[in-house]
A and B are shown apart, each in its own frame.
Chain A
């Protein structure tokens, strides 16, 4: 039972990270109707930027950990958002009205560009960081000496996810930008006729998605204590799985799906085999799409004839 509780905590934390990445997929898919294949690599770039800015701040002599983390968070979000904007501008905007496969392939190309750019710029080796947020609470100590712990780091990850999700849900449902986004989601041509700047709205979608991916990248860095140029692909696919599982296009669905994938993966590793945890996650994707093509919170797709 204690073991189960500990895995539950670990799974929820991992799921929060997936959920943050999944939001980027869900928003882009909802508006442009395409899978932003490079999103996982944007998450990886976000992790690198957090790492580098953290390194600089520490070497400047700053010691206040909360201040450092806040600055790192803001820098990573801003720079990664610019990456998202640039990717959209270079690889997707010229293909907005092209046929279906073209943006998909240029997105795959962009994914290769980003991961290999990071490899060339920062080297192929794994970049470790020492634990920054330490300490935690012992929730329960079993008779056999097994301790259920909730670390401060885990609390930070989950709280950050919840706060950001609330901020961005508010952004999409209450602001002018959010209204434009929902309008574009319905019908881009009609939205343009009614005075919505479609190009700008789509750019902003990529910017927000990338900023959230940067937060996920930073949380990943802090939680696992390392980044490498290769981590974007698998994390991206799992986050996409989460977005599909939750019902693509739905923000709460993305987080729900992320939690589900995080839990499934953690429990699979804990009770079955670590080697096959990715196989389990990918199999879930296939099974979900077969039985629930619209996901948990998704709306059924209307087939236009």
Chain B
């Protein structure tokens, strides 16, 4: 980690075999103690409610062997390659070239996104996946306002997503209001909850803020589960109306869009419509965020993230700054929730667990907070990667957790380490995200 140690490994590139073996044996021993009870022995409740157990020594032996081998490989790599710094893996010239390319990457991605329904018209699976990815892109951009810009660490973002989804579901099923009336209402209700959360936590900072938002998210979820009369409890709300194209339903009926346009009806129409709907919502989030960043309020957010005390000393109103950040983030969360409800047609509290909050936060951090492009790429990677492991249902969250730990160790500052500054004097120069301190307020 320090400079001298880097140099010594440069000089002595010999392989220290006894050290490697010693380390591998130690790791294997630790693994043996850790796993002997949990993996070597499997318990299960027997037929009479009594616990029975059997041994799985083969599994245990292979895992310990794996740790032994893995430790040797890791240590060999470490001694041969030396401490891997970002500068060493990617030379500065390439980095500059990449940030140059990055300017074209965002428009290229946008064009590609617009063309997705055209290219994959008949591939329902890919369209569904694309909608899912865009939902998380939107959530990521929404949370980015709170965490990336204002530096307020929010672990309960899924609460606003839930408020939006339930607002739409309940308004639409109980009063029969259309999607386009409910969407702004869902957003506003979520924003209202954002302000309600914001008020009590105004004085909190850092980890305390994180834990209170986490508690808030859990409270919302528990209330949804237990308030059976209103929300249907664990059974959720079903038969949520599908969205319409400003009153024209996208179905097989006589006054449906297909009949009006005189074309053959296909269920794909609705999927394509949903795709463009979420794309539009996500782009709205992005556009509003970029615009707000240049306004005084956006600069106040960034100032708050950097130093709350200095911010106060400069006469910036901390209360409104924090509240607007929470409200803006929640607004977009609410929109995304309403979209989620109309896409699924069914919602239940299971969709709004802490895992979702953690996933969205991981997307924001992995993207290199504050970088809009980074968040989009991270959502694509994470949700796409998550999809790859769909077959391994039980191992999925295990892999996700490990990936979170490894990514943090490998790139704590996220995929995109640079971003465009909000304000500059003469010439825009990319700033490293090492220079900003997110998740501080």
Known: A86-B34, A100-B439. A289 touches B413 (CB 8 A): no
Residue of A nearest to B396 (CB): A116
Interface string of B425-441 (1 = CB under 8 A from A): 00000000010011110
Q: Within 8 Å of chain B (Cβ to Cβ): is A157?
A: no
**Chain B residues numbered 310-352 whose CB sits less than 8 Å from any CB in chain A:** 310
The distance from the CB of A174 to the nearest CB of chain B, in whole angstroms, is 29
Chain A positions within 8 Å of B49 at CB level: 128
> CA A181 – CA B136 in complex, angstroms?
42
Q: In the bound complex, do residue B211 and residue A35 qualify as a contact, i.e. CB atoms below 8 Å apart?
A: yes
Interface centre among A98, A240, A279 (most CB of B within 10 A): A279
Q: Is the CB of B37 within 8 A of A125?
A: no
Within 8 A of A (CB), among B349-408: 354-355, 358, 361-362, 365, 369, 394-395, 397-398, 400-405, 408
Partner of B405, one of A34, A109, A237, A286: A109
Query: A226 CA to B3 CA in the complex, in Å?
Result: 51
B310 contact set on A, CB distance < 8 A = 305
A236 to chain B, nearest CB (A): 11
Of A7-15, A45-53, A148-156, A262-270, the one touching chain B: A45-53
Q: Is the CB of A289 within 8 A of B397?
A: no
Q: Spot the interface stretch: A87-95, A132-140, A161-169.
A: A87-95
Question: Is A82 touching B33 in the complex (CB atoms < 8 A)?
Answer: yes
Contact with B along A106-127 (1 / 0, CB 8 A): 1011111111111111110111
B203 at the interface (CB under 8 A from A): yes
Evaluate contact between A102 and B398: CB separation under 8 angstroms. no
Contact residues of A between 1 and 54, Cβ < 8 Å to B:
29, 34-35, 45, 48-49, 51-53
Indicate if A233 sits at the interface (CB-CB under 8 A). Answer: yes
Query: Which A residues touch B439, using CB under 8 A?
Result: 99-101, 104
A147 within 8 A of B: no
B440, A100: Cβ atoms closer than 8 Å:
yes
Is there an interface contact between B43 and A285, defined as CB atoms closer than 8 Å?
Answer: no
**A126 contacts which chain B residues (CB < 8 A)?**
45
A-side contacts of B37, CB under 8 Å:
48-49, 52-53, 75, 79
CB of B405 within 8 A of CB of A118, answer: no
Measured between beta carbons, the chain B residues less than 8 angstroms from A117 are: 38, 398
State whether B437 touches A99 (Cβ < 8 A). Answer: yes
A115 to B400, CA, bound (A): 12
Supposing A94-B409, A98-B412, A104-B210 touch, asked if A112 and B51 sit within 8 A by C-beta, the answer is: no
Chain A interface mostly: helix
- Which B residue sits closest to A277, measured CB to CB? B222
A55 and B211 contact, CB distance less than 8 A: no
Q: Which of B30, B43, B49, B369 has the most CB of A within 10 A?
A: B43
CB contact list, B34-66 vs A, under 8 A: 34, 37-39, 41-45, 49-51, 53
Task: Give CA–CA (A279, B397) in the complex, Å.
Answer: 26
Segment at the A interface, from B116-124, B175-183, B184-192, B213-221: B213-221
Does A112 contact B43, Cβ atoms closer than 8 Å? no
Nearest Cβ distance between residue B37 and chain A, in whole angstroms? 5
* Beta-carbon contact of B412 and A102 below 8 Å: yes
Interface SS of B by simple majority: helix
CA distance A130 to B45 in the complex (A): 11
B1: Cβ under 8 A from any A Cβ: yes
B42–A112 CB distance below 8 A: no
| A101 x B365 contact (CB < 8 A) | yes
Residues 188-237 of B at the A interface (beta carbon under 8 Å): 200-201, 203-204, 206-208, 210-212, 214-216, 218-219, 222-223, 225-226
Residues of A within 8 A of B133 (CB): none
Interface residue? B134 (CB, 8 A)? no
User: Which residues of B lie under 8 Å from residue A56 when comparing CB positions?
Assistant: 41, 53
Considering the complex, give the chain A residue whose CB is closest to the CB of B403: A109
* Residue B98 interfacial (CB < 8 Å): no
A48→B212 CA distance, assembly (Å):
29
Given A79-B34, A117-B38, verify A110-B405 contact (CB < 8 Å).
yes
Q: Which residues of A contact B369 (CB under 8 A)?
A: 101
Contact yes or no, A127 B43, CB < 8 A: yes
State the Cβ distance, B272 to closest chain A Cβ, in Å.
35
Known: A53-B37, A112-B404. A282 touches B398 (CB 8 A): no
Instruction: Out of B1, B207, B405, name the residue touching A35 (CB < 8 Å).
Output: B207
A71 within 8 A of partner (CB): no
**Contact indicator B207/A112 (Cβ below 8 Å):** no
- Could you tell me if B204 and A112 are in contact, using CB atoms closer than 8 angstroms? no
Contact B394–A79 (Cβ < 8 Å): no
Find B394's partner among A29, A119, A273, A289 (CB 8 Å cutoff). Answer: A119
The closest CB in chain A to the CB of B31 belongs to: A86
Interface contact A55-B51, CB-CB below 8 Å: yes
For residue B309, which residue of chain A has the nearest CB? A305
Residue in A34, A53, A106, A112 whose beta carbon sits within 8 Å of that of B398 in the complex: A112
Contact A105 B404 (CB under 8 A): yes
Smallest CB gap from B310: residue in A:
A305
CA gap between A123 and B39 in the complex, in Å: 11
Task: Write out the residue numbers on chain B whose beta carbons fall within 8 Å of the beta carbon of A130.
Answer: 50
Q: Mark A64-93, 1 if CB is under 8 A from B, else 0.
A: 000000000001000100110010001100
* Known contacts A52-B43, A122-B38; A106/B218 CB under 8 A: no
B204 touches A106 (CB 8 A): no
Q: With a CB–CB cut-off of 8 A, which chain A residues contact B172? A: none
A99 adjacent to B438 (CB under 8 Å): yes
C-alpha gap A130/B48 in the complex (Å): 12
- Of A52, A79, A125, chain B has the most CB atoms within 10 Å of the CB of A52
Q: Using CB atoms, name the residue of chain B closest to A29.
A: B207
Task: Decide if A293 touches B397 in the complex (CB within 8 Å).
Answer: no
Name the A residues within 8 Å of B51 (CB-CB).
Answer: 51, 55, 127-129
Flag if B408 contacts A99 (CB, 8 Å). Answer: no
Q: Which of A217-272 contact B (CB under 8 A)?
A: 233, 237, 240-241, 244
Contact, CB under 8 Å: A95 / B412: yes
- Is the CB of A283 closer than 8 A to any CB of chain B? yes
Q: Does A144 contact B (CB under 8 A)?
A: no
Chain A residues, CB < 8 A from B216: 282, 286
Contact status A111-B401, CB under 8 Å: yes
Q: How distant is the Cα of A139 from the Cα of B219 in the complex, in angstroms? A: 37
> With A108-B361, A241-B215 given, can you name 10 additional A-B contacts, CB distance below 8 Å?
A29-B207, A52-B37, A101-B365, A119-B394, A120-B394, A125-B45, A278-B218, A286-B212, A289-B200, A289-B208
CB-defined A-B contacts under 8 Å, sample of 19: A51-B51, A52-B43, A79-B34, A86-B34, A90-B405, A98-B408, A101-B438, A104-B439, A105-B361, A108-B362, A109-B362, A113-B398, A113-B402, A114-B401, A121-B39, A123-B44, A128-B49, A282-B215, A286-B212
Q: Which 5 A-B pairs have the closest CB atoms?
A: A109-B404, A112-B401, A113-B401, A102-B412, A101-B439
